[in-house]
């Protein structure tokens, strides 16, 4: 969707083998706290499905900004706050019913507005943040949790249970899931909230905002409407 050719690309990802198949000419580096990026080295930086694991997401974005040459593009895709809201709800209800308490099971993730603000803090021009829900169906909640472990998206919260959950909790959670979040043909549905962030390294060739009050045409005239004063 970006009408631009890129010659020097780097991908920040824990899944390098997958990305190398799609972008064989790109450099892939792991999503460590300190990224292996030199300043002004790339015209495209892709942060791929790892920002939600970062202890310092602002630091990750700033490091990517420094690695870009002028007018270079930063593209990030990460999981957002509405991810697995169904699983979060059924586990909480089931555990409360069976044990009378709650334990942390799904890590909190940033909302769209918060992540969009990080682009500005990182020094990017023309920042854009968007959300794309990805709906997936599974045979049951056990298949979903098995898939999450295979994805490396298991529970890593410091306050998590240090012993296996009771079988009754998992079985009750599966029953609640089937009732409240049904899919097709007896399956269940799960939501992954994909947050897409784009920003450009500042450059004089980019569109610049006009000085406030310098407009030559009234907004009401452009919209062909009547301007009315707000009440005091």
What confidence category does residue 76 fall into, taking pLDDT thresholds of 50, 70 and 90?
very high
Q: Residue ranges of the domains in the chain?
A: 9-222
The neighbour count for residue 57, using CB atoms within 10 Å, is 21
Of 55, 118, 86, 100, residue with least CA distance to 182:
86
For the chain, what percent of residues have pLDDT higher than 70? 100
CB of 190 closer than 8 Å to CB of 86: yes
Of 117, 125, 115, 27, residue with least CA distance to 74:
125
Of 1, 11, 78, residue with least CA distance to 44:
11
For 21, phi then psi, to 5°, come to -65, -30
CATH architecture label of 9-222? 3-Layer(aba) Sandwich (3.40)
Which stretch of 26-30, 96-100, 159-163, 217-221 has the lowest confidence by average pLDDT?
159-163
* Three-class SS state of 6: coil
What confidence category does residue 230 fall into, taking pLDDT thresholds of 50, 70 and 90?
confident
Instruction: Say how many Å lie between the first and final Cα of the chain, rounded.
Output: 45
């Amino acid at each position: 969707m970006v009408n631009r050719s890129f010659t020097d690309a780097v991908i920040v990802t824990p899944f390098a083998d997958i990305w190398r198949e799609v972008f064989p000419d790109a450099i892939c580096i792991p999503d460590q706290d300190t990224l292996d990026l030199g300043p002004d080295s790339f015209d495209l930086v892709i942060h791929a499905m790892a920002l939600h694991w970062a202890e310092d997401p602002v630091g990750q974005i700033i490091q990517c900004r420094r690695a870009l040459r002028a007018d270079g593009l930063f593209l990030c895709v990460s999981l957002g706050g509405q991810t697995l809201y169904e699983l979060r709800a059924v586990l909480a209800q089931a555990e409360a019913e069976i044990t009378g308490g709650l334990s942390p099971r799904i890590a909190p993730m940033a909302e769209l507005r918060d992540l969009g603000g990080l682009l500005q803090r990182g020094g990017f021009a023309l920042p854009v943040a968007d959300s794309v829900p990805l709906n997936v169906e599974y045979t049951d909640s056990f298949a979903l949790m098995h898939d999450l472990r295979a994805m490396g998206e298991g529970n890593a919260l410091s306050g998590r249970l240090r012993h296996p959950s009771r079988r009754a909790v998992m079985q009750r959670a599966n029953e609640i899931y089937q009732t409240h979040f049904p899919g097709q043909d007896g399956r269940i549905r799960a939501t992954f909230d994909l947050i897409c962030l784009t920003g450009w390294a500042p450059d004089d060739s980019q569109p610049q905002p006009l000085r406030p009050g310098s407009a030559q045409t009234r907004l009401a005239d452009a919209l062909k409407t009547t301007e009315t004063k707000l009440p005091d």
